[in-house]
Amino acid sequence: MLKRKEFILGAAVGLTFAAAATAGGIIDWPAAGAQEQRAELRSGLVPAATAGAVLFQPPPGAPNSFADIIDQVSPAVVQIDVTTRVPRPSVRGFPNIPGLPFPFSVPQQPQGEDGEEPMMEGAGSGSGFFISADGYIVTNNHVVANASEITVRLTDDRELTARIVGRDELTDLAVLKVDGGTFPFVQFETQAQPRVGDWVVALGNPFGLGGSATAGIVSARGRDIGDQYVDFIQIDAPINRGNSGGPTFDIYGRVIGVNTAIFSPTGVSVGIGFAIPADVAQRVTQQLMQGGSIERGYLGVQISTLTPDMREALGLDEGVTGAFVGDVTPGGPAAAAGLRAEDVITEMNGQAVRNNTDLTRRVGQARAGDTLRLTVLREGRRVQVNVRAGVRPPEDELNNPTPGQQNGTAERPAAAGVVVEGLRVAPMSAALRQQYGIDPQINGLVILGVEAGSRTARIPFEPGMVIQSADRRPVTTVDELRAAVQRVRQAGRPSILLFVRTGQGNTPVVLPLEGDEE
């Protein structure tokens, strides 16, 4: 589980810092002769007194201590304490604040007369760092997203009130501003890209303890942990609750990343942390400082990666990559340009599209009004579609579920339907449309259930979902679905691609073919 929330009021913790000894020089083994010693100096390998084992001399550049680096950069690192308003528990008792090993007592208050959810004050803690002498601070968006009050504590114990300059939810970055003089600051390193195995030092405020340092190496690059716009640096320097928003330094004291998340089954460091790369952080924070928000290009499509199973179901060559269009937003840029649901976008501006994340990031980098040349596969043909990019709407607007679709909430209809490949389906009717709250614009076969024990039962179909097409052809009757299945069988394909309308929008589903149907 990826842990990001950093709500800390205080905890007693035991810390252990283990580092390999890196004393310079060669071990002088008593049994080694002069000739062996000269070879050791040349190779850096030292024979051990036991059978065949060798010890490695620390390579050039491995520091004996990180103290000089930390002395240099730590004044620019700050502790960030936030006050938030969170929903009060509806039952009498005491809430358990995340990060505390014990319940925290807060008196219970009745619900307001206006029916609004009762609220209470909570506290959170994170990290940040100055990137300019005049008081601009970088941190994570999730550290300050719901803050009603933000206090920044400096290494000289000064406490300053901060205000939010801008936030970007999609990269989890935020910029704060404090006043009060000239501040020590650090800079992003965007040219010298870190390599796997390079030393790193992470500074921050773990568990609300205040300024702390950990060290390790870059353990991987280009990690995708579900964020649309960031390929993360993975580090093994311990990162814990409260480190979010703090900097990751190289051994020259340059910021190579912003600590953001950990992978942990326990909620504490297990040696896998993730940092936003410096080039992404610098680009986003500069835009936030200039305008307070980030504008990204927008197509108006719901897409998913073209998986090997989908390629097989569509009869495409193994090397084809791209993004499958599940839905097109009415009135959006893609709809105006003629892009259709079930198109497969294989190229953008002449460059191959690897997957849905690749397309999303490249579209996001476009400016409103830019023309995006898309090559799509449509019913076995290559089609060119030119889309004029729009401005991506706010995330809360995009994340609203499709209205009118109430899958799984209604009782099974009286009509038994017909079983095709383990799916019990029925043609659309006014009664089914009303029962499941299906939008008037949606047509197809309504799924009534799944036959127990069938291969189809492994797929999370729900009553009220609508099969709009099968094998890229519209289906409105059971016979049309059966014909599509027969067509796929005759082509020698083991599965069929269904285009299914769910409560969250259109979804491509690869359905493995079974034996003879009922």
Per cent of the chain over pLDDT 70 is 76
**Domain co-membership, 355 together with 271:** no
Residue with the larger pLDDT of the pair 71 and 291: 71
**H or E stretch including 38?**
helix 34-43
Tally of structural domains, the chain? 3
Cα gap 301→324, rounded to integer Å:
10
Domain annotation covers residue 223: yes
Name the pairing type of β-strands 390-391 and 418-420: unpaired
User: Per-residue pLDDT for 298 more than 50?
Assistant: yes
**Domain co-membership, 473 together with 341:** no
- Locus of tokens 């649901």: 341
Cα gap 129→122, rounded to integer Å:
23
pLDDT in tens, 413-446: 334 578 888 888 988 888 888 888 888 888 899 9
Three-state DSSP state, 426: strand
**Domain co-membership, 365 together with 485:** no
For 228-372, where are the alpha helices, taking DSSP H only? Answer: 278-291, 308-314, 333-337, 356-365
What CATH number corresponds to the domain at position 60? 2.40.10.120
> What does the pLDDT average to over 463-480?
90
Give the DSSP per-residue string, 457-500.
GGS---TT-EEEEETTEE--SHHHHHHHHHHHHHTT-SEEEEEE
Q: How remote is the C-alpha of 311 from its chain's centroid?
A: 25
Three-state DSSP state, 265: coil
Domain annotation covers residue 423: yes
Say whether 495 is catalytic. no
* Strands annotated E in 178-280: 199-204, 212-223, 232-235, 247-249, 255-263, 273-277
Domain annotation covers residue 468: yes
**Domain co-membership, 124 together with 200:** yes
Residue numbers of the domain that contains 472: 418-512
**Domain co-membership, 308 together with 235:** no
Neighbours of 3 (CB within 10 A): 19
Cα gap 503→464, rounded to integer Å:
9
Least confident of 199-208, 367-376, 388-397: 388-397
Domain annotation covers residue 186: yes
**Domain co-membership, 126 together with 196:** yes
Q: How confident is the model at residue 125 (pLDDT cuts 50, 70, 90)?
A: confident
**pLDDT score, position 9:** 27
**Domain co-membership, 430 together with 364:** no
pLDDT in tens, 99-114: 333 344 444 444 554 5
Structure tokens at 178: 């404090």
CB 325 within 8 A of CB 353: no
**pLDDT score, position 229:** 83
Domain annotation covers residue 477: yes
Say whether 148 is catalytic. no
Annotated catalytic residue, options 127, 244, 269, 495: 244
**pLDDT score, position 7:** 30
- Final residue of a structural domain among 276, 294, 312: 294
Say whether 125 is catalytic. no
Point out which residues pair with 45 in neighbouring strands.
56
**Domain co-membership, 189 together with 89:** yes
Q: How confident is the model at residue 314 (pLDDT cuts 50, 70, 90)?
A: confident
**pLDDT score, position 86:** 67
**Domain co-membership, 172 together with 58:** yes
What CATH number corresponds to the domain at position 365? 2.30.42.10
**H or E stretch including 398?**
helix 395-398
Domain annotation covers residue 27: no
Domain annotation covers residue 405: no
**pLDDT score, position 240:** 85
- Locus of tokens 């197509």: 299
Does this model's pTM top 0.85?
no
**Domain co-membership, 283 together with 322:** no
- Locus of tokens 């993004």: 323
**Domain co-membership, 315 together with 432:** no
Q: What angle do CA 88, 397, 292 make, to 5 degrees?
A: 85
Domain annotation covers residue 14: no
Annotated catalytic residue, options 125, 127, 168, 172: 172
Cα gap 349→252, rounded to integer Å:
39
Residue 70: name the closest of 234, 226, 200, 161 by CA: 200
Cα gap 118→101, rounded to integer Å:
25
Cα gap 368→364, rounded to integer Å:
10
Annotated catalytic residue, options 81, 142, 168, 327: 142
**Domain co-membership, 38 together with 94:** yes
- Final residue of a structural domain among 294, 320, 343: 294
**How far, CA to CA in Å, does 300 sit from each of 72, 306, 501, 504?**
47, 18, 17, 15
Per cent of the chain over pLDDT 90 is 30
User: Per-residue pLDDT for 91 more than 60?
Assistant: no
Mean predicted lDDT score pLDDT of the chain:
77
- Final residue of a structural domain among 238, 266, 294: 294
